[in-house]
Structure 1
Amino acid sequence: MLIRWRHLLAALVALPVLGLMVAWLGLIPVGASGGHWAATDWFLHWVMRNSVRTAALDTKTPPLNNAAMLPLAAGHFETGCALCHGSPVQKRSAAALAMLPPPPDLAEVVPTWTDAQLFEIVQHGVRFTGMPYWPTRDREDEVWAMVAFLRQLPDMDGPTYLRLSGLATPIQDGTLRPPALACDSCHAETRLDGNGLIPGLAGQSEAYLLESLRAYADGTRPSGVMQAAISGLEPDSFHDLARFYAGQARQSLPPAQSEPALLDHGRRLAEAGDAGRRIPACLTCHDRADGNPAFPVLSGQSAPYLESQLRLFAAKTRGGGAYADLMIPAAENLEERDIEALAAYFSSR
């Protein structure tokens, strides 16, 4: 039988119409209980791996050997990831294993990805699975912290995970106990050691803490970690949390060891600024007894945390309360040594 062009044209028109008809009639099963055909499962994973590999080609990996990254990521992992992927202290739930595809055991799959590829997965998520993207695009530092944590996860034991995630906090006799507040999982004074990326909240003003919570909630202060942490809170509870931490006493933490020249450079910038480079004096606004209560107290915060915040302001991605915009021009002319010096000086006060 001779196949003519008009036959091919008719087939090309009929096939999409037939496909739409099958879809409209509901004949294509979408139930997860049926699973995928083996060929479909292989194809989807093949496409995903190729996509991630290509997307990661121009991703530059920063150093990931900073231990301060781990507690920041571990707390988020416990609240946002462990339910599906399991953790060193709990297996994947039956509900997670019933997903299609089921979330993988990270101890098995993390070693098969590079750091850059893990960053792409955590930052952007994976379509057609339950893997979400990071809640904000402006906090690559948080995503890299998660990558550093994931790299350690396959060999992590239960006590280490409990300590890092804040599910339990050390008490005087060395044993562990659950934190009194969910926020204390990360921010309890006993969790702070002067070298972390998590800020101390105790002793900050109620006004500053309240503004910060509201900024996290409405997205004007981007943070995937904090947006997930407060997502289940009612806005009415922000006042109580702010009041609670404002009333807590600050713990005296040993500052990181810094060169005297670096500390002196930070002190001069804090006290007098640098008019030639349009850098204002930090102490004009911060840490003043008669200052605006909406400005945070910087003294005694860890140097790594202060460095991270200054870098975010310099990159114009920090955000915050009503006065956050004042910090962008204040930080935009800071060089890396200025940032390190200011962080070292305020952490030592």
Structure 2
Amino acid sequence: MRYVLLTLAALAALGLVGAGAVVGLGLYNVSARAGHWPGVPWVLHTTYNQSVRLRAPSEGEVPDLSAPGLAELGAGHFESACVFCHATPDTMQTATATGMKPRPPHVTDTMEHWEPRHLHWILQEGVKMSGMPQWPAARADEPWAVVAYLERVRAGTAPDVAPPTELPADAPEALAYCATCHNIDGRSDWPQVPRLDILDGDYMTSALSAYRDGIRGSGFMQHAATAVPEPALAELAAWFAAQDAAGPGLGGDAALVEAGEELARQGTGEIPACIVCHGPGAREDKPAMPDLAGQHATYLRTQLHLWRDDGRGGGTRANLMVKAAQDLADSDIDALAAWYASLPPGGN
């Protein structure tokens, strides 16, 4: 038994010496052109597959991927952030992308062997040593939009989302990029995306700076705010703020709207009523607080959930909003979002 243990110890020592030589002397060729040693791709790919399947969210956590606007929002982000490596359903990958090791799959192949919950984990967490980045923000809600888009690609019904080709003569240079999701006039057709025509220019400039600096979390907007030159941010904010925000509210269930108004007009000794900072009607001078009348209910619900769970960030307002939202039930959030969405914009 002693000789067996000595032999095993000697083999282990030789293994460590060999590994040290490979690492320390540069004996392993890291060239992408040379590829891996035999067996290494199988080990890495199997490790990757099993790791994703172990850590992916459960089936019960998958939202309704057919929700209006969700796949379109995912398509818009994919076009900006993912096409370089994965191409589009109608185009081929570039030679640069296919020269990567490992090679990123074409978008039509990304769903192979993966369920939506697996795709979500890959998008949110990224994959080490593969070129696949993590989602820019620690938010589990946003990657589902890209999953919804990929599922549409799988079904052969991928939405065609592209920036507008014709812009007003006085439009900021980067407007086409922003208009992919927000439209030229700031009135997005997708309920997950906020209307910008109802917001103050200084507020939007501050928000864009917070996204750019990583103070406020959103994978969509952190990417966008860093893709656009910093001097253009204030110009874009001013453009959207100057758009005509007039028009009717978005309506909604009457009982829910009534409950939302009651909640919005309440306050406590520590927390002012919602209308004090966000309107409607006459309100205190609070330029850092956005007007909410006419805002999309889906967007408002998401933001309130993030505030309640302390997952939004956003600078000096964060503490107040986290405290204001911490005791809201899901039904309260639904009611508040419904009421503000029902109001005509521009009434603040």
- TM-based fold match above 0.5: yes
Q: Structure 1 pair 333/12, CA: closer, same or farther in 2 (3 Å)?
A: closer
Shift of 1:69: 1.7
In structure 2, what is the Cα distance between the partners aligned to 1:210 and 1:65?
A: 32
Shift of 1:238: 2.6
- Aligned partners of 1:279 and 1:334 also within 8 Å: no
Matched residue pairs, number? Answer: 333
In structure 2, what is the Cα distance between the partners aligned to 1:339 and 1:44?
A: 44
Q: Structure 1 pair 252/82, CA: closer, same or farther in 2 (3 Å)?
A: farther
Q: Structure 1 pair 194/131, CA: closer, same or farther in 2 (3 Å)?
A: closer
**Mapping 1:54-133, distance limit 5 Å:** 54-56=54-56, 58=58, 60-133=61-134
Shift of 1:44: 1.6
Shift of 1:194: 6.0
- Aligned partners of 2:186 and 2:195 also within 8 Å: no
In structure 1, what is the Cα distance between the partners aligned to 2:57 and 2:25?
A: 43
Aligned position for 2:234: 239
In structure 2, what is the Cα distance between the partners aligned to 1:264 and 1:313?
A: 23
- Aligned partners of 1:202 and 1:249 also within 8 Å: yes
Shift of 1:145: 2.0
In structure 1, what is the Cα distance between the partners aligned to 2:165 and 2:299?
A: 21
1:213 to 208, 211, 221: 208
Code of the residue aligned with 2:298 in structure 1: it is: P
Q: Structure 1 pair 9/190, CA: closer, same or farther in 2 (3 Å)?
A: same
Shift of 1:17: 2.1
- Aligned partners of 1:200 and 1:301 also within 8 Å: yes
Give unpaired runs (5+ residues) of structure 2.
Answer: 168-173, 344-348
What percent of counterpart residues are identical? 36
In structure 1, what is the Cα distance between the partners aligned to 2:75 and 2:191?
A: 13
TM-score with structure 1 length normalisation? 0.85
Q: Structure 1 pair 5/121, CA: closer, same or farther in 2 (3 Å)?
A: closer
**Mapping 1:147-166, distance limit 5 Å:** 147-156=147-156, 160-162=159-161, 166=162
Q: Structure 1 pair 259/342, CA: closer, same or farther in 2 (3 Å)?
A: same
Q: Structure 1 pair 316/30, CA: closer, same or farther in 2 (3 Å)?
A: same
In structure 2, what is the Cα distance between the partners aligned to 1:168 and 1:327?
A: 36
- Aligned partners of 1:202 and 1:248 also within 8 Å: yes
Code of the residue aligned with 2:241 in structure 1: it is: A
Which 10-residue stretch deviates more, 113-122 or 321-330? 321-330
In structure 2, what is the Cα distance between the partners aligned to 1:50 and 1:219?
A: 32
In structure 1, what is the Cα distance between the partners aligned to 2:140 and 2:94?
A: 29
1:167 aligns with 2:163: yes
In structure 2, what is the Cα distance between the partners aligned to 1:305 and 1:169?
A: 27
Q: Deviations over 1:130-162 (max 9, x none)?
A: 11111122x11102222222211223457x322
Aligned position for 1:176: none
Code of the residue aligned with 2:204 in structure 1: it is: L
In structure 1, what is the Cα distance between the partners aligned to 2:97 and 2:160?
A: 21
Classify the secondary structure of the residue corresponding to 1:339.
helix
In structure 2, what is the Cα distance between the partners aligned to 1:149 and 1:224?
A: 16
Aligned position for 1:248: 243
- Aligned partners of 2:297 and 2:337 also within 8 Å: yes
In structure 2, what is the Cα distance between the partners aligned to 1:22 and 1:243?
A: 57
Classify the secondary structure of the residue corresponding to 2:230.
coil
2:274 to 271, 277, 282: 282
In structure 2, what is the Cα distance between the partners aligned to 1:119 and 1:264?
A: 37
Compute the RMSD of aligned alpha carbons.
Answer: 2.8
Give unpaired runs (5+ residues) of structure 1.
Answer: 172-178
